[in-house]
Amino acid sequence: MEIILGGIALLSLLSAILKWLTVPGSITAFILGFIIFKAFDWQGLVILGVFFITSTLLTKWKRDLKRDEKALHSEEKKGRSAGQVLANGGAALIAAACHTAIPNPVWLIMYTAAFATATADTWASEIGVLSKKKPFHIKEWKTVDRGLSGAISSLGTFAAALGALLIGFSFYILFDTSFLVALCITISGFVGNLADTVFGAWFEQKFFCSMCKKETESRVHCGKKTTRIYGVSWVSNNLVNFTSTLIGGMIAGGLYIWINQ
Ligand SMILES: [Zn+2]
């Protein structure tokens, strides 16, 4: 137990040093890891690790190519913030806390599906942004610049399916489970990612940069404040991510209860 706690502490510290996470982000990740370990043991931590390590590596991958397409927030340079950690891991954290209070196998399914959604979403945006073709915005019903929420490309959709599948497969390897349950997790992760796209398209705030004449999700672009053109003022990318991971988790929980009737 001490070894695993030491491992979580070391990885959190390393994440701060490597600027994968900010210092508050790294402290949040440590607490998240601790609660997950208490609820789902080391196997639960591996699920978190698969999400965190693949997502971070994909974010760094071909970063120079993505720079033009994605507005780099100052926080992106400093690493993922505590808010971003909770946006991706908050729903999973709730499932872990519920399992500690009222143990039931359904919490582990919801936990894993929340990370399947977060993984699908991150893979879709980090790989999808490299698509040669411009993505299609599902609300505006036209092609838009790469990197905007609510836009889909075939490459991004394929990446989302692959990300959800990796978590489903990890679950199958780590836990004594049926193929059907692992499939439920994969499907829920993919559907959760679709929910993320829909929320992103309809509710998330979009801004316009007067310098480069582009739509962006950043309040600051090209070193200047941007103007909000649409979206609901309190709907941020973090809230959209949190809601979609919650939905992915609930779909898997519902399917699990249904197939076990
Ligand atoms: Zn700009």
Using the mean position of ligand 1's atoms as its centre, give its distance from the Cα of residue 211 in Å. 5
Using the mean position of ligand 1's atoms as its centre, give its distance from the Cα of residue 106 in Å. 45
Cα(70)–Cα(153) distance, rounded to whole angstroms? 15
Cα(19)–Cα(206) distance, rounded to whole angstroms? 27
| pLDDT reported for residue 73 | 45
| pLDDT reported for residue 221 | 87
10 Å Cβ neighbour count for 134?
13
Using the mean position of ligand 1's atoms as its centre, give its distance from the Cα of residue 210 in Å. 7
Using the mean position of ligand 1's atoms as its centre, give its distance from the Cα of residue 146 in Å. 14
Helix or strand holding residue 220 (H, E): strand 220-221
Using the mean position of ligand 1's atoms as its centre, give its distance from the Cα of residue 219 in Å. 10
Using the mean position of ligand 1's atoms as its centre, give its distance from the Cα of residue 223 in Å. 8
> Domain limits of the chain?
2-259
| pLDDT reported for residue 203 | 87
Using the mean position of ligand 1's atoms as its centre, give its distance from the Cα of residue 87 in Å. 25
Cα(178)–Cα(172) distance, rounded to whole angstroms? 7
Sequence-distant (≥ 6) Cβ neighbours of residue 82 within 8 angstroms: 22, 24, 25, 27, 28
Using the mean position of ligand 1's atoms as its centre, give its distance from the Cα of residue 29 in Å. 32
Using the mean position of ligand 1's atoms as its centre, give its distance from the Cα of residue 243 in Å. 28
Using the mean position of ligand 1's atoms as its centre, give its distance from the Cα of residue 221 in Å. 4
| pLDDT reported for residue 218 | 79
Tokens found for residue 200: 């992103």
Cα(115)–Cα(186) distance, rounded to whole angstroms? 10
SS (H, E, C) 61-80: CCHHHHHHHCCCCHHHHHCE
Angle at 197 between CA 91 and CA 246, to 5 degrees: 15
Using the mean position of ligand 1's atoms as its centre, give its distance from the Cα of residue 209 in Å. 5
Neighbours of ion ligand 1 (CB under 5 A): 209, 211-212, 221-222
CB 69 within 8 A of CB 145: yes
- Per residue of the chain (261 residues), give pLDDT as tens: 789 999 999 999 999 999 999 999 999 999 999 999 999 999 999 999 999 999 999 988 877 777 655 544 444 567 889 999 999 999 999 999 999 999 999 999 999 999 999 999 999 999 998 888 899 999 888 998 887 888 899 999 999 999 999 999 999 999 989 999 999 999 999 999 999 999 988 888 888 889 888 888 778 888 888 898 878 878 888 999 999 999 999 999 999 999 998
Q: What is the chain's length? A: 261
Using the mean position of ligand 1's atoms as its centre, give its distance from the Cα of residue 156 in Å. 24
Using the mean position of ligand 1's atoms as its centre, give its distance from the Cα of residue 108 in Å. 42
| pLDDT reported for residue 176 | 86
Using the mean position of ligand 1's atoms as its centre, give its distance from the Cα of residue 121 in Å. 24
